[in-house]
Amino acid sequence: MSNSFAPIDSSSYSGPSQKKRVAYFYDSDVGNYAYVAGHPMKPHRIRLAHSLIMNYGTYHLMEIYRAKPATRHEMTQFHTDEYIDFLQKVTPDNMDSFSKEQLKYNVGDDCPVFDGLFEFCGISAGGSMEGAARINRGKCDIAVNWAGGLHHAKKSEASGFCYVNDIVLGIIELLRFKKRVLYIDIDVHHGDGVEEAFYTTDRVMTVSFHKYGEYFPGTGELRDIGVGQGKNYSVNFPLRDGIDDVTYKSIFEPVIENVMKYYQPEAIVLQCGGDSLSGDRLGCFNLSMRGHANCVKFVKSFNVPTLVLGGGGYTMRNVARTWAFETGVLVGQELSSTLPYNEYYEYYGPDYELDVRASNMENANSKEYLKKITDQVIENLKKTTFAPSVQLTEVPRTTILGGTEEDENIANDMDEDENKDVRTTKRQFDARVSRDDEFEESGDEREAFAAYGIHRQTGANKRRNIMDHKNSNSRIMEAQADNSKSSQGLSHNATNTAKNDSIPETVSSN
C-alpha cells in the first residue's frame, strides 16, 4: 500500500552539537549464556554489537563500565522474594523438583531454565540499575546497556523470554531523584511488563509503539490509558504489519513531541528492541537501520538525561548492526558503511556493510488509520495534569545499589562470623579502595588506557580490586596497575581514603 508521507531525513544522525557524556555498560560474560538449543533469544548478539562498537573506535567517545551484577536484594525492589528465590535456586539439573514453581512463575517453554539463569539476569539488571544511578549522580547524560530492555517480565512471573525486568528496576532508581520519568518502547511487542508496573501512577509515563492484534503479548490497546492517578499516563499506539521508515517517523515524532510538551520528564528510558527491524525472525515491521535509529536521534535531541536499553531482536547480525550504529548516534559519531574487520566478520556476509535495508513488504498502516490513532493519543495527553509534581522526601545518601550503613554493618558482621579463619575475606578485600596517588599513571599508561577506551573522569579514583570490577579490556589495566603498585613499594597497611565513584560502597578497615 502506497502512502504519501514526508521523506525521512537520514543526513544528520550525529555531529558536534549532538555530543553528550555517554556511559556504556558491558559485561563480557553476557555472551556466554544460552537459553536452550533452537531458542530465538540469543545473548550472543550483545557480544556481536560490542565487537562492532569497539572496532569502529566508538569507545573513544564514551566511558566504558562493567556494572556490578544486580543482587537478589536489588531485584526484589520490584519482584517478589519468592520469585527471585526460585530463579536463584532452579537449574537444569534440579528443575524437575520445581515443577509446581515453574508452572506458577511461567517458567518453561518461552522462558526455559538454563545454566546461569540468575547470573544472566544479574548482568542485565545490574547494567540498567547502575546506568540509572550514574544519571542520578549527574555523571553522564546518556547511559547505554544493550543487555537490558527485557520489558515483559512481571512482578512474580517470567514472560516473553524475560525473567527480571531491568527496566522497572532502572526506573525505580531514577524515581529516587527524578519527579517524572518517561518510558518509550519501540520494540515490535507491547511493553506490557513496564506498563503494568506503573499503571496507577503519574510519576512514570509509558509510551509503546507496537504490533497489535493476534500477536504476543496481546495487550496495548489504544484505550489502555492507565487507572486512578495514572489515568492518561499510559500511551499505546497499536500498529499493523509492514510499517516503514517514513510512516513510523510520521507518528513517532508528533506523539513524542506532545508527550514532552505535556509531561516534561526529568529523565527518559528508551527501549530499542531490534525486532521492529525489517527481516527480523519474529517481527513483522519494515524499519531500516536508519529508520530505527531516527527514534534514538529524535529522543536525544530533547537534551533530557536518557537511559538507552536493548530489548528484542532475533536476527543477530541486524540487531548488532543497528545497536552499533545507534551507539554512534548517541556519541555523535558517523560510522562508515563498510564494516571493520572483527572476530564475527563472517556473520555479516555477503555485503559486509553497516546497513539493514527495508524490504518491499506491504504497509498495512493507512494514512487515515494512523491519523485517527495519533489524534486520539494527543487528545488523551491534553487531559493529563501539566508536568505533574510530587512531594519528594529527603533522598538517602546512598543509592539502592549501595544499601544503608546499618545494612553494611550487618553484612560485615555476618561475613566475619562465616570466615573466622580467614585473615582478609573477599568482602573486606572488595571494599578496599586506593588513595589518590596510589596508582599514579605515567603519560604512557594514560595513552595505553585511552587506546582501549578507558577514560577516567577528572578526580575519579581507582579500585584496588581491579579483578572484580574490570571492563572488557582490563588485562592491560591489571598489568599496569600491578607494575605501578610494585614500583612505589606500597605498604599493606596503607590507609585508604579515596571514595570509589562507580558503585557506592562502605569502606572496610582491616
Q: Flag whether 160 is marked binding.
A: yes
Q: How far apart are CA 74 and CA 129, in angstroms?
A: 9
Residue 10, SS3 per DSSP: coil
Q: Smallest Cα–Cα separation from 123: which of 64, 175, 166, 89? A: 166
Q: How many CB atoms lie within 10 A of CB 418?
A: 10
Q: Which three cell numbers stand for residue 199?
A: 499503571
Instruction: Tell me the residue type at 474.
Output: S
Question: What region, left, alpha or beta, does residue 38 occupy, with left being phi > 0 and alpha being psi -120 to 50 degrees?
Answer: left
Angle between helices 289-300 and 316-331 (to 10 degrees): 30
Gyration radius of the chain over CA positions: 23
Q: Flag whether 275 is marked binding.
A: yes
Give the helix, strand, coil percentages of the chain, each rounded to 5: 40, 10, 50
Three-state SS sequence of 364-407: CCCHHHHHHHHHHHHHHHHCCCCCCCCCCCCCCCCCCCCCCHHH
152 catalytic per annotation: yes
Q: Flag whether 351 is marked binding.
A: no
Q: Flag whether 109 is marked binding.
A: no
Of the residues 152, 190, 210, 292, which is catalytic? 152
CB 321 within 8 A of CB 354: yes
Count, residues in the chain: 510
Binding residues: 110, 160, 187, 189, 275, 314
Binding residues for a divalent metal cation: 187, 189, 275
Binding residues for substrate: 110, 160, 314
Catalytic residues: 152
